């Protein structure tokens, strides 16, 4: 009999893969700024619309969606990060810290998470509830992909040479 | 004993949810064009970079990632769609046809898909292989979210009043 990792725990490598892909996309952003002699802060503070979050905040939220999502599901307390990053290096450090936390979330801690009710804030005045499975697959992971893709789009819009395979990088391809 | 829907089949409602969210985002785009007296084709052909796909193609690929992904996993043949949409109405029709197909994919047809090897084209000259589970969660679903978010970002960048809750709409919230 094959022991399978519980469904929710199977997602952790996918989340880490995506954060690593985001890291690679940011590396290309930093390299592009250097090559084109652009102040890197122009890129890290770039937005797609004046009332949308800049690149820094997109990365912060991609990290926090992952970190707080898995913390709520596992019951393991997540480290707090001050939202003070402005440079590419600082954003990379936040991704590393987030992945470090995700690696502490064990399959055992998620064994009963599928059916548990998760309450979480959505905006300043609202608390929502989802079943654990739905919280992960309808909220946490869509949020991670949303902010990773938006970070990608901000850089792509600003002339950074990223492609979709940078975003999909790290899939467990078979030979 | 609780009978659980097999893991891969559980994702179909999430895929349909996301396509419905994309439909709602496009509706807001069409309404915004009308309210601001902008030719809707300006929005459907808008891009975030000159060498990126326009909105129409983003929607076509979001649909095809879903349709071909589930077809490959289930072995059920997918309908072919000509990539000829230019208007918001035509894009909505494509989403409807895609969802109609996804509703024909049964849990039974996915029962053994988790471990099967899926081969799929990635670009014109390359065939990749992933295990069924990884194909769904590391390729199909990330692609769906990528193109849905990019469609959102194109409209948002062009002044359409969409917010992240339009993208997350339809989550199975508990009371």
Burial class from Cβ neighbours inside 10 Å (0-12, 13-18, 19+) for residue A127 reads exposed
How many residue pairs bridge chain A and chain B with CB atoms within 8 Å of each other?
106
Do strands B127-131 and B117-121 pair parallel, antiparallel, or not at all (unpaired)? antiparallel
User: Tens-digit pLDDT profile for chain A (175 aa)?
Assistant: 456 678 899 999 999 999 999 999 999 999 999 999 999 999 999 999 999 999 999 999 999 999 999 999 999 999 999 999 999 999 999 999 999 999 999 999 999 999 999 999 988 899 999 999 999 999 999 999 999 999 999 999 999 999 999 999 999 999 9
Chain A residues with beta carbon closer than 8 angstroms to that of B14: 137-138
Q: Please, which residues bridge with residue A127 across strands?
A: A121
pTM, full prediction: 0.97
Please tell me whether residue A131 adopts helix, strand or coil conformation.
strand
* A164 at B interface, C-beta within 8 A: yes
Question: What pLDDT was estimated at residue A49?
Answer: 98
| Chain A residue with the nearest C-alpha to that of B11 | A137
Distance between CA atoms of residues A11 and A17, nearest Å: 10
Closest Cα of chain A to B137: distance in Å?
7
* B28 at A interface, C-beta within 8 A: no
Burial class from Cβ neighbours inside 10 Å (0-12, 13-18, 19+) for residue A118 reads buried
Among B124, B13, B131, CA closest to B73: B131
Model confidence at B30, in pLDDT bands (50, 70, 90)? very high
Question: What pLDDT was estimated at residue A123?
Answer: 82
Q: Render pLDDT for B98-144 as a digit per residue (tens, 0 to 9).
A: 999 999 999 999 999 999 999 999 888 999 999 999 999 999 999 99
Q: Give per-residue burial for B99-122: e unless 16+ CB within 10 Å, then b.
A: bebbeebeeebbeebbeeebeeee
Question: What pLDDT was estimated at residue A17?
Answer: 98
Closest Cα of chain B to A60: distance in Å?
16
Question: What pLDDT was estimated at residue B3?
Answer: 60
Q: Are B143 and A171 in contact (CB under 8 A)?
A: no
Question: What pLDDT was estimated at residue A2?
Answer: 52
Q: Render pLDDT for A96-137 as a digit per residue (tens, 0 to 9).
A: 999 999 999 999 999 999 999 999 998 889 999 999 999 999
| Conformation bin of residue A121: beta by default, left when phi > 0, alpha when psi is -120 to 50 | beta
Distance between CA atoms of residues A25 and A45, nearest Å: 15
Question: What pLDDT was estimated at residue A1?
Answer: 44
- As a whole number of Å, the CA-based R_g of chain A is 17
Q: Are B62 and B91 in contact (CB under 8 A)?
A: no
Q: Are A91 and A44 in contact (CB under 8 A)?
A: yes
* B27 at A interface, C-beta within 8 A: no
Question: What pLDDT was estimated at residue B1?
Answer: 44
Interface predicted TM-score (ipTM) of this complex, two decimals: 0.97
% of chain A residues with pLDDT over 90: 94
| Chain B residue with the nearest C-alpha to that of A138 | B171
| Chain B residue with the nearest C-alpha to that of A171 | B138
What average pLDDT does chain B have? 96
Tell me which residues of chain A, numbers 31 to 90, contact chain B at a CB-CB cutoff of 8 Å.
Answer: 48-49, 52
- As a whole number of Å, the CA-based R_g of chain B is 17
| Conformation bin of residue A125: beta by default, left when phi > 0, alpha when psi is -120 to 50 | alpha
Cα–Cα distances in angstroms (integers) from residue B124 to residues B58, B127, B128, in the given order: 18, 9, 11
What average pLDDT does chain A have? 96
Query: What contacts B141, CB < 8 A, 6 or more positions away?
Result: A141, A145, B11, B14, B15, B69
Cα–Cα distances in angstroms (integers) from residue A4 to residues A8, B3, B5, B115, in the given order: 11, 17, 16, 12
Q: To which residue do tokens 């300006």 refer?
A: B42
A142 and B18 in contact by Cβ < 8 A? yes
Question: What pLDDT was estimated at residue B5?
Answer: 78
Chain A residues with beta carbon closer than 8 angstroms to that of B145: 141-142, 145-146, 149
Distance between CA atoms of residues A55 and A52, nearest Å: 10
> Which secondary-structure segment (H or E) carries B130?
strand B127-131
Which DSSP letter does residue A139 get?
Answer: I
> Which secondary-structure segment (H or E) carries A2?
none
Question: What pLDDT was estimated at residue B124?
Answer: 87
Between B88-102 and B7-35, two packed helices, what is the crossing angle to 10 degrees? 170
A153 and B156 in contact by Cβ < 8 A? no
B175 and A143 in contact by Cβ < 8 A? no
Distance between CA atoms of residues A64 and B157, nearest Å: 24
Q: Are A59 and A95 in contact (CB under 8 A)?
A: yes
Instruction: Extract the tokens encoding B166.
Output: 């339009």
């Amino acid at each position: 009999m094959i022991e399978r990792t519980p469904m929710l725990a199977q997602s952790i490598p996918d989340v880490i893969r995506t954060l690593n892909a985001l890291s690679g996309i940011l590396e290309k952003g930093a390299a592009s700024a250097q090559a084109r002699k652009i102040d890197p802060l122009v890129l890290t503070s770039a937005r797609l619309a004046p009332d949308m979050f800049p690149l820094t905040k997109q990365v912060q939220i991609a990290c926090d969606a992952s970190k707080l999502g898995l913390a709520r599901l596992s019951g393991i307390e997540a480290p707090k990060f001050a939202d003070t990053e402005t440079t590419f290096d600082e954003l990379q450090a936040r991704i590393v810290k987030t992945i470090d936390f995700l690696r502490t979330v064990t399959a055992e801690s998620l064994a009963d998470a599928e059916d548990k009710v998760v309450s979480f804030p959505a905006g300043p005045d609202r608390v929502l509830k989802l079943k654990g499975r739905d919280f992960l697959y309808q909220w946490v992971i869509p949020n991670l992909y949303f902010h990773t893709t938006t970070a990608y789009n901000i850089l792509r819009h600003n002339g950074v040479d990223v492609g979709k395979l940078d975003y999909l990088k790290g899939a467990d391809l078979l030979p």
